[in-house]
Amino acid sequence: MTSLSNRLNQSDVFQTKTSLCRSAVGKGCRRVSCDSSGSPDLSTDVETRVLVINTGGTIGMILHDGVLSPEPNALVKTLRTLPILHDEPYAQRTKLYEYYKSADKTLVLPRSKLDKRIVYTFLEYSPLLDSSNMTPKDWMTIGKDIEKYYEEYDGFVVLHGTDTMAYTASALSFMCENLGKPVVLTGSQVPIFEMRSDGRDNLLGALLIAGQFVIPEVCLYFHHKLYRGNRVTKVDSGSFKAFASPNLPPLANFEVDISINWDTVWRPSITAKFTVNTQMNQNVGLLRLFPGITTETVKAFLTAPMDGVILETYGSGNAPDNRQDLLDEIRKATERGLIIVNCTQCLKGTVTISYATGQALSKAGVVAGFDMTPEAALSKLSYVLAKQDISKEEKRKMLSRNLRGEMVADLEGAKLSLSDSRFIQVIARSLSIGCKEELEAIRNALTPALACAAAKNGDTEALEAIREMGTDLSLANYDGRTPLHIAACEGQVKVVQYLLSKGATVFVKDRFGDTPLRNAIHLRRKDVVELLRKCGAHLSPDELQDTGTELCRLAASGDLEGLKIWKLAGVDMAMPGYDGKKPTEVARTWKHNEVADFLLA
């Protein structure tokens, strides 16, 4: 670690000599060493970066003539005056504003319990919207901005009105394909400027998640709880507890401690890069059944231009089976190619075919939506219907499959429970314990270490056994190192492949701030670098800090193989070293012409 004074001088060099760390929104991250009085090296603050996309909503509204409306540029100004949401002395001491060059939009939280400094930068939309005015076009804008700034930030917070937040969260969860970083939506019931507001807590919670935990999901944070975005629904307009997730427990609870329910965190099971797919079919709708609904109403609703309909049925997916007229309309529509998905009107529970009344719908060609919320079902339908390259039948199959943790389909959930694990049972017996909490504690203590050992030895079978115990294979050991870090270092390609296919996150940093990609580069594990890149891994701005100098060092020693690995890792080979010289110039100076040619190519 450099001392404070050194670091500040170096940061001046960085600002003038590299393209890092400069732009109104984004780029760059620092590691800062200082104590609260500014003395060097007594402790280390690792900065993480969060982009806050402000779309509007009550959180930033001001009362004008008795009516609440969004107020442009007001939020950042106010937050800057709140010590709990902005540490101005730290910003001054560490020249934060000079470093990030976006002084008017960037703030920094006080040091967190995990010794992190979350630096957050605002991207404010214009006009700011009440979420009742939002449309799929606005979801696309948010999705595109997440894609645009994806590599520059560790996580994203989206400030949003509560009225349609569940719709946006659901839509973003489908649009964001192979997401590897947290996207957290939040807002408030009372403007942040008011004395009794939930906005300050909600923003703080969302920032702490986005800046500290690699939860690769679109989530919603509200009133001390983090939910999966496509599982929530707004249930109360007059309470701070505005949202519920009836069919899935929260991903995290903010009590005295923050406890993350890692077993519930959703992870993609394919190895592919993050992209945002903004194609949504808008010819979709929600039709709620009610006793006495007329055939004409149903018929009118199911006609063109409608391409897909969510049918909100009774109880566990029932519709009257004594109304042949209705069932005929539904059957005719599905035969014409309209896709109809069956969701329950109940807040909690799932669609099954245990009643004759439910079977009648499935016989009429209706797809089971299991326990999806109407918001999730609608956006999933819109997302699936917009796919150009698959057939109608494949679309129907896709709708009945779990894509982003939005539902539990009937045949899923066969996960072994903790008590099924022989391994844990043996240990539990020898320690004479039996209760679930104690078993869980043993599992949590043992399995990260076991998984790391298995990763080192290339033992995918052991990893699979550990996973079957219900363990999250992204859990880290005492050094914050995950099995993926270990496999990357050891060049265990098969293990890396296996872990990625089980959703291991590529963005987790160990206590030294290193990702598995950085480990693989340093140990020259070419195949691993390739695999990780396929999954969208990239070096964080923080990790890139000294890269120019490293490239120059390799260029000076004519180390072509070393340079090739960095290139494979997607690094800009023209990054200058500490003295502003580019690697090509250095290679020429040292007469390594082959290296210089490679760098130029």
Nearer to ligand ASP, 57 or 369 (CB): 57
Locate tokens 């005056």: which residue?
Answer: 81
> What's the number of CA atoms in the CB half-sphere (13 Å) around residue 303?
6
Nearer to ligand ASP, 57 or 548 (CB): 57
Output the smallest distance, CB 187 to ligand ASP, in A.
5
Stretch that binds ligand ASP, among 12-20, 155-163, 419-427, 530-538 (CB under 6 A): 155-163
Phi, psi angle pair for 341, to nearest 5°: -115, 135
Nearer to ligand ASP, 57 or 250 (CB): 57
Nearer to ligand ASP, 195 or 304 (CB): 195
Three-class SS of residue 233? strand
Distance of CA 107 to the CA centre of its chain: 21
Stretch that binds ligand ASP, among 158-166, 426-434, 479-487, 488-496 (CB under 6 A): 158-166
Q: Which of residues 465-504 bind ligand ASP (CB under 6 A)?
A: none
> What's the number of CA atoms in the CB half-sphere (13 Å) around residue 412?
11
Q: Of 462, 464, 353, 471, nearest to 417 (Cα)?
A: 471
The token duo for 441 is: 């504690």
58 is catalytic: yes
Nearer to ligand ASP, 58 or 477 (CB): 58
Output the smallest distance, CB 194 to ligand ASP, in A.
13
Instruction: Tell whether residue 37 is a contact of ligand ASP (CB under 6 A).
Output: no
Output the smallest distance, CB 376 to ligand ASP, in A.
18
Give the C-alpha separation, 598 to 593, whole Å.
9
Q: Of 94, 3, 93, nearest to 41 (Cα)?
A: 3
- Starting at the edge strand found earlier in the chain, the sheet holding 367-368 runs 284-288, 308-313, 339-344, 367-368
Contact 361, 367 (CB under 8 A): no
Cis peptide before 516 (omega within 30 of 0): no
Nearer to ligand ASP, 132 or 322 (CB): 132
Residue nearest to ligand ASP (CB): 161
Q: Which of residues 80-139 bind ligand ASP (CB under 6 A)?
A: 130-132
Output the smallest distance, CB 416 to ligand ASP, in A.
41
Query: Which listed residue (78, 162, 233, 357) binds ligand ASP by CB under 6 A?
Result: 162
> Which residues, 6+ apart, have CB-to-CB distance to 34 below 8 Å?
4, 40, 41, 42, 43, 45, 93, 94
Give the C-alpha separation, 444 to 117, whole Å.
27
Phi, psi angle pair for 327, to nearest 5°: -60, -35
Stretch that binds ligand ASP, among 161-169, 213-221, 453-461, 471-479 (CB under 6 A): 161-169
The token duo for 495 is: 């293990």
Catalytic residue among 18, 55, 58, 106: 58
Nearer to ligand ASP, 48 or 233 (CB): 233
Output the smallest distance, CB 27 to ligand ASP, in A.
30
Output the smallest distance, CB 58 to ligand ASP, in A.
3
> Which residues, 6+ apart, have CB-to-CB distance to 1 below 8 Å?
31, 33, 41, 44
Output the smallest distance, CB 601 to ligand ASP, in A.
52
Instruction: Tell whether residue 187 is a contact of ligand ASP (CB under 6 A).
Output: yes
What 8-state DSSP symbol labels residue 265? -
Instruction: Tell whether residue 196 is a contact of ligand ASP (CB under 6 A).
Output: no
Output the smallest distance, CB 156 to ligand ASP, in A.
19
Nearer to ligand ASP, 79 or 450 (CB): 79
431 to 470: interface string for ligand ASP, x by CB under 6 A: ----------------------------------------
Cis peptide before 305 (omega within 30 of 0): yes
Q: Which of residues 56-85 bind ligand ASP (CB under 6 A)?
A: 57-58
Q: Which of residues 289-318 bind ligand ASP (CB under 6 A)?
A: none
3-state helix, strand, coil in the chain (%, to 5): 40, 15, 45
Q: Which residues bind ligand ASP (CB under 6 A)?
A: 57-58, 130-132, 161-163, 187, 189
Active centre residues (catalytic):
58
